[in-house]
């Protein structure tokens, strides 16, 4: 494992999901939203969160839709999409049989909630709802056919169905203008998590998934520090980061089986149970996970080492594990430069929770060596 090597390109598969349109750039919502509705008489229901309801964005969107197309707005989706609010929103949508479109406005929680509502509507009526996403963060929830939400006991669950995937995406910098800087940057690290974990996922395709994931990593390393200094006043940087978020997950394909990776599994184990936003869980875990993965198998060491030229550290040591360590350190350094470094202690998670976190992250199915390695990693997060 110490000798530098390249991936052996085995047979693979990329099965793309359908996407009708991806609009990006200033004023793209105003110019193109109505043309993306599935019919001239479509009725659209807006799904968003309470914080965005306090901004002008919701009213602007309602005005743009007008009485002809606006069927209602639900603005109480909370972090991690609790099932109680999801139930409430689903009921409101079900009350109007004319609704054929959902417009999610916000980060991962509203977008995932809209996907889950579409799945529920299909169960009741046999029809899915058309879904238009207007993201305000870099979480990239608009890129998957997965809808995650939080059960009453605080654990995450969800539904997976290609038919609930977003059909049209709008990356409009004006809709990120009210996103707090810390949230914007932290969700950027969530996008980094997607891209990095794609590199060692066993069923991710070489092209386009891994090739574009590497480009996403490079863009995120370049533009997140610029956003730290300019957000939300630089439309070019904002739009480029939106596109980097899409590149991090938008080409993962329907062929992917299983979870994305250990950093994501740890994120789910830490996120909703302890009220930690997923962007912040990625800041905590990703750099350490890269180092661990490189020590768990030769193949993962190669995959992690491939990232090195894209994080601004071009000099290879000739050793895959050492190069992967440099990648992990670069990620941890970026987290610190973005002022996003935190600990589980700061988040109020006691060390008595370590075994529970490991069990949740591994599904209780890991062998003794893996479970021990994950526990050692979790210890480093305090």
pLDDT band of residue 2 (cuts 50, 70, 90) is very low
pLDDT band of residue 12 (cuts 50, 70, 90) is confident
pLDDT for residue 123: 95
Structural domain 181-379, CATH architecture: Up-down Bundle (1.20)
Pairing of strands 156-160, 146-150: antiparallel
Averaged confidence pLDDT in the chain: 94
Q: Indicate whether 81 pLDDT > 80.
A: no
Sheet hosting strand 70-77, strand order edge to edge: 21-24, 168-171, 130-135, 99-106, 43-49, 70-77
Buried b (16+ CB within 10 A) or exposed e, 213-241: bbbbbbbbbebbeebbeebbebbebbbbb
Contact present, 256 and 201 (Cβ < 8 Å): yes
Give 151 or 75, the one with higher predicted confidence.
75
pLDDT 10s digits, 314-334: 789 999 999 999 999 999 999
Q: Indicate whether 377 pLDDT > 60.
A: yes
Give the whole-angstrom CA distance, residue 265 versus residue 285. 10
pLDDT for residue 14: 94
Q: Indicate whether 380 pLDDT > 50.
A: yes
Give the whole-angstrom CA distance, residue 370 versus residue 382. 20
Q: Indicate whether 6 pLDDT > 90.
A: no
pLDDT for residue 84: 87
pLDDT for residue 220: 98
Q: Indicate whether 85 pLDDT > 80.
A: yes
Q: Indicate whether 3 pLDDT > 60.
A: no
Beta bridge partners of 168: 21, 132
Q: Indicate whether 219 pLDDT > 60.
A: yes
Vertex 41: Cα angle to 143 and 29 (nearest 5): 40
Instruction: Give CATH 1.20.1090.10 domain extents, the chain.
Output: 181-379
pLDDT 10s digits, 249-293: 999 999 988 889 999 999 999 998 999 999 999 999 999 999 999
Q: Is residue 200 packed enough to be buried (19+ CB in 10 Å), middle (13-18) or exposed (0-12)?
A: buried
pLDDT for residue 249: 97
* Terminal-to-terminal C-alpha distance of the chain: 30
Per-residue DSSP letters for 207-261? Answer: IIIIHHHHHHHHHHHHHHHHHHHHTTS-HHHHHHHHHHHHHHHTTS-TT--S-S-
Tokens of 2: 């110490």
Per-residue DSSP letters for 128-168? Answer: PPEEEEEESSS--GGG-SEEEEE-TTS-EEEEE-GGGS-SE
pLDDT 10s digits, 134-169: 999 999 999 999 998 888 777 778 899 999 999 999
Contact present, 36 and 21 (Cβ < 8 Å): yes
Map tokens 């995120």 to a residue: 220
Instruction: Give CATH 3.40.50.1970 domain extents, the chain.
Output: 21-176
Give the whole-angstrom CA distance, residue 261 versus residue 150. 20
Q: What is 21-176's CATH number?
A: 3.40.50.1970
Contact present, 38 and 232 (Cβ < 8 Å): no
Report the predicted TM-score, pTM, of the whole model to 2 decimal places: 0.95
Which helix (H) or strand (E) is 170 found in, with range?
Answer: strand 168-171
Buried b (16+ CB within 10 A) or exposed e, 80-100: bbbbebbeebbebbeeeeebb
């Amino acid at each position: 494992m110490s000798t530098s090597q390249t991936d052996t390109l085995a047979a693979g598969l990329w099965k793309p999901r359908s996407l009708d349109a991806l609009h990006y750039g200033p004023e793209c919502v105003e110019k193109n939203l109505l043309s993306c509705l599935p019919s001239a008489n479509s009725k659209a229901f807006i799904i968003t969160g309470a914080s965005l309801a306090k901004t002008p964005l919701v009213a602007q969107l309602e005005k743009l839709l007008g009485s002809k197309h606006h069927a209602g707005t639900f603005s109480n989706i909370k972090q991690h999409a609790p099932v109680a609010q999801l139930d409430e929103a689903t009921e409101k949508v079900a009350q109007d049989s004319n609704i054929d479109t959902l417009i999610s406005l916000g980060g991962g929680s509203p977008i995932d909630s809209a996907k889950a509502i579409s799945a529920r509507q299909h169960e009741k009526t046999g029809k899915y709802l058309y879904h238009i996403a207007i993201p305000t963060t870099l979480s990239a929830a608009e890129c998957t056919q997965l809808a995650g939400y939080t059960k009453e006991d605080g654990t995450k669950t969800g539904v997976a169905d290609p038919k609930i995937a977003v059909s049209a995406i709008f990356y409009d910098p004006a809709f990120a203008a009210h996103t707090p800087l810390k949230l914007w940057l932290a969700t950027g690290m969530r996008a980094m998590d997607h891209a990095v974990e794609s590199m060692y996922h066993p069923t991710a395709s070489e092209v386009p998934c891994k090739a574009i994931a590497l480009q996403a990593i490079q863009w995120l390393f370049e533009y997140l520090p610029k956003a730290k200094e300019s957000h939300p006043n630089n439309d070019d940087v904002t739009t480029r980061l939106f596109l980097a978020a899409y590149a991090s997950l938008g080409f993962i394909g329907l062929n992917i089986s299983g979870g994305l990776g250990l950093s994501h599994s740890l994120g789910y184990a830490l996120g909703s149970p302890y009220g930690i936003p997923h962007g912040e869980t990625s800041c905590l875990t990703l750099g350490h996970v890269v180092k661990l993965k490189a020590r768990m198998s030769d193949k993962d060491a190669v995959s992690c080492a491939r990232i090195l030229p894209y994080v601004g550290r071009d000099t290879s040591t000739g050793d895959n594990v050492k190069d992967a360590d440099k990648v992990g350190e670069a990620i941890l350094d970026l987290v610190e430069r973005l002022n996003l470094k935190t600990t589980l202690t700061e988040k109020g998670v006691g060390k008595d929770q370590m075994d529970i976190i490991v069990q949740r992250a591994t599904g209780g199915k890991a062998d003794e060596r893996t479970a021990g390695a994950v526990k050692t990693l979790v210890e480093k997060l305090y």
